[in-house]
Chains A and B, each alone.
Chain A
């Protein structure tokens, strides 16, 4: 294996390679799918053609990605130049040309993201062909797949771009698609409100990203990754030699971080993600669990070299990540809507990823992104299958024992596997990825990082509890179910309850679920592939820019962490290797969580909504249980702190507008009107009155002539 450093540097210095232009297919195929589906919508296609077109094109995109990865081996960086998108020049000097091409920056980090983005998008699109079938006649079907493809295109831009501006385009593009898809049921007020909330909350984060982007250009004079990384390497050399980084380099990561927090639903901007579950479930699975929300993680990982130069940013990332993980987990424990539980678990898991980035284990974070993408997609799609089959029923108090209902075995198994992975059960993919982060949290020096490790560990226990709370309540216990409020016209059922026959998932949903179950389980395998770098993902991260800087950074990162491990190993004993220690600790914590869930939600349960121990506990823990169920009143807090003052301000401004601005404007109109009104009597139609004016004017002109001469 050649030295990745030299390869990276060689690639960084090299010119764009035109022989790999076919990689442009990866973003362009989804775009084609988007356009085709738009045309189908315009032509009024009511068959499943848009769905299958999308699946086919996305599958081709995945195959292209895969073959690209296999032929380039995941080492080094390549730039594929598409076309000059933007080039504004106002001088010849450095930093006086703003150029952004539609160019792809291909390194191993890109491969990692694109592989699971295109792969999962293909699977979820296939799932959607069946899930969205009810909307075929209304034309929503083609619209849905058009937005879906557009999302994949935008995500490709975001991940594959070779400059920050194209990344920003993708960033805003996925935000737009998220908005469009959350508001897919645009006749439903709650969906519209959720879409607006997602969009507006994301604006806050995007402002940070935009500012970071501008500051980057101002400071580095370019937006292209290669040049930025080259400059960063110089700055890093200065820092290593005892110098200090410029303040801009410390500020940019903080600004980028704000953007990442918005997109990846971290404190304090996480509130949009749970509401985003108003969108169709496949959308929740792909956009709001597997891919888009990891864009923030990608951004931080991509610019980890810069974060490494800004301790403040790193610490913030770690603490916010851990805090979000804990908070979301506590909320998730008390929710009854299973999709909402999954949403909070997503927020929580994203918190883990940021914790991982904060403690400089980009490997752990990326691996967790990878495994999470699979098992969370599995969980969501399983929830979606339930929702689809039970007419929109998502309340775990009204569903029970589904595993015993014929036709739901695949769903139950998928849910079980997903929950196991989420809970970090021994040997599952989630187990390895989560342990990597937690172990690094304990050994990486940093402001209170050891405490973060404990928080993470506790959260792991909570995660196991709430995951299996859902599983036990919905899939086990006495068989009981009530239909939701969405009636399927073709089923012809009257009200929910008696006589309701859930329709079990069809071949597409089951096929996708099976594929994802396999994927979730198999996601553990990469951990054993490349032992040198903590697994295959670690290898990918190592050969990307993230790994590059982390390795080179002295005083931070895994190098130091390994040094710490070595030092700890000298003390000998079991605690010598943090990973081994963590395997055991988290196994125990996870098992306790699962056991608790069993005890609380299975023992003595007689019906769907009555679990004696759970109810007793809930009553006992009041008011904390109520508060958690009400999401710690965060939404209400934001409402009181931000929305109401803003509304008040808007009212005040409206008053000012009405009184002052409108007054001025009306005054402008009023003055001539008053003038005209005062003059109107002169226009009374009497000939002589006009003649008086003429005579007076004549006198005036004569006097003027006389005076002037």
Chain B
């Protein structure tokens, strides 16, 4: 794998970034935070521009403009989070970081996560942080309105921390840029597979096509249902019979077919086609598919239909599904979450419950202890007074 980025540019950028971050860290005396932030911004920008140039060379224009915007906002506000001397501002900058990364999530087609992030992080967690910051800060007086706590104003060994952090970043980005062979990814998955797990969706579509109606074996229609459907009762009765005799069961490719099935065959990545197989065999009758029905199906207009294996009466109908039928992000995530990781979901719930219980205990205990101590002290005091008196 050839390097996608010149190592000189990358490491020079990282070194510059490290310098900038180190300068930006809060310290006593001369505090060139702005210069540091500028230097760091230039460095990150240089690296990102270098990456964009790579994209340009590939001749694909600059379609990822939003990416660069969000990335710069996110990284810049992250720098402010770690360098701002006032915790409240740091928390607010963190909100900005979150919103920026939510934008990146959106670019990555993770719409659900985008909104979850904004709601949970920015909406819930960060508010908690702000509350705690306010709880755990000395109430300002007239004189100390602008005073900063020592531990906020001065960072601890900023250079060492920067070196460690950028060493980590260097290792990570070096691995990214110059490639790590021998780490194969998982098999590619297509939206068709996700769709195969949404039978209702496909069924609705297929039924919407009217195929089921057409395919419905009218030949097996009982005598009492023959004839024109004159009354609503008859229509209802007819529909009930039709549903019970025209099952569409969707399974993923290669699944065991039953009475009828829709196979979604990924013909090409961008489009879907469903193969609709309907067994028109009456479960009670082994006589096979009547030729009359065959003819009837063949006359269905507008459908690229074909029937084969007339002996067993297995009819296969390949239907092209529209792209719009592809599962949405929420559907995919939901399926993955509930279908593939049910145990983890349960565990996450348990953890949340425990955290809640823990928070409650933590909150209760300290007050109780203090009250008990006060009661005890009062008791002792009383005893001492009594002892002194007697």
Contacts and interface: CB of A to CB of B under 8 A. Distances in A.
Interface string A581-601: 000000000000000000000
Given A695-B168, A699-B168, A706 B174 contact: yes
Given A706-B174, A709-B181, A692 B168 contact: no
A38 B236 CA distance: 114
A698 B175 contact: no
Nearest to B167: A699
B153 to A, nearest CB: 17
From B164, B174, B183, name the one whose CB has the most chain A CB atoms within 10 angstroms.
Answer: B164
Contacts of B167: 695-696, 699
A564 B181 CA distance: 110
B164 A702 contact: no
B174 to A, nearest CB: 7
B168 A688 contact: no
B283 interface: no
Nearest to B183: A709
A699 B160 CA distance: 14
A699 to B, nearest CB: 5
Contact of B172 (A688, A692, A702): A702
A692 B164 contact: yes
Contact of A703 (B156, B171, B181): B171
Contact of A698 (B156, B160, B168): B168
Nearest to B175: A706
A696 B164 contact: yes
Nearest to B157: A688
From A688, A699, A703, name the one whose CB has the most chain B CB atoms within 10 angstroms.
Answer: A699
Contact of B161 (A688, A699, A706): A688
B363 interface: no
Interface in A651-709: 688, 692, 695-696, 698-699, 702-703, 705-706, 709
Nearest to B178: A706
B58 interface: no
B59 interface: no
B79 to A, nearest CB: 18
B292 interface: no
A700 to B, nearest CB: 9
B181 A695 contact: no
Contacts, number: 32
Contacts of B180: 705-706, 709
A442 B181 CA distance: 107
Contact of A695 (B157, B164, B174, B182): B164
A542 B225 CA distance: 142
B165 interface: yes
Nearest to A696: B164
Interface in B167-204: 167-168, 171-172, 174-175, 180-183
B152 to A, nearest CB: 15
Contacts of B160: 692
B165 to A, nearest CB: 7
A703 B174 CA distance: 9
B161 A692 contact: yes
Contacts of A699: 164, 167-168, 171
Contacts of B182: 709
A127 to B, nearest CB: 80
Nearest to B168: A699
Contacts of B161: 688, 692
A695 B165 CA distance: 7
Contacts of B172: 702
A689 to B, nearest CB: 9
Given A695-B164, A709-B182, A709-B183, A688 B156 contact: yes
Contacts of B164: 692, 695-696, 699
A273 B167 CA distance: 85
Nearest to B174: A706
A698 B157 CA distance: 20
Contacts of B175: 702, 705-706
A80 to B, nearest CB: 84
B219 to A, nearest CB: 65
Interface in A54-93: none
A277 B65 CA distance: 113
Nearest to A688: B156
Nearest to B164: A695
Contacts of B174: 706
A699 B183 CA distance: 19
Contacts of B183: 709
Contacts of B165: 695
A696 B183 CA distance: 23
Contacts of A695: 164-165, 167-168
A691 B361 CA distance: 28
A25 B165 CA distance: 92
Contacts of A692: 160-161, 164
Interface in A191-236: none
Contacts of B181: 709
A695 B182 CA distance: 25
B171 A706 contact: yes
A368 to B, nearest CB: 96
Contacts of B171: 699, 702-703, 706
Contacts of A698: 168
27 contacts: A688-B156, A688-B157, A688-B161, A692-B160, A692-B161, A692-B164, A695-B164, A695-B165, A695-B167, A695-B168, A696-B164, A696-B167, A698-B168, A699-B164, A699-B167, A702-B168, A702-B171, A702-B172, A702-B175, A703-B171, A705-B175, A705-B180, A706-B171, A706-B180, A709-B180, A709-B182, A709-B183
Closest 3 interchain pairs by CB? A702-B171, A695-B164, A699-B167
Interface of A: 688, 692, 695-696, 698-699, 702-703, 705-706, 709
Interface of B: 156-157, 160-161, 164-165, 167-168, 171-172, 174-175, 180-183
Given A695-B164, A709-B182, 7 more contacts: A698-B168, A699-B168, A702-B168, A705-B180, A706-B174, A709-B180, A709-B183
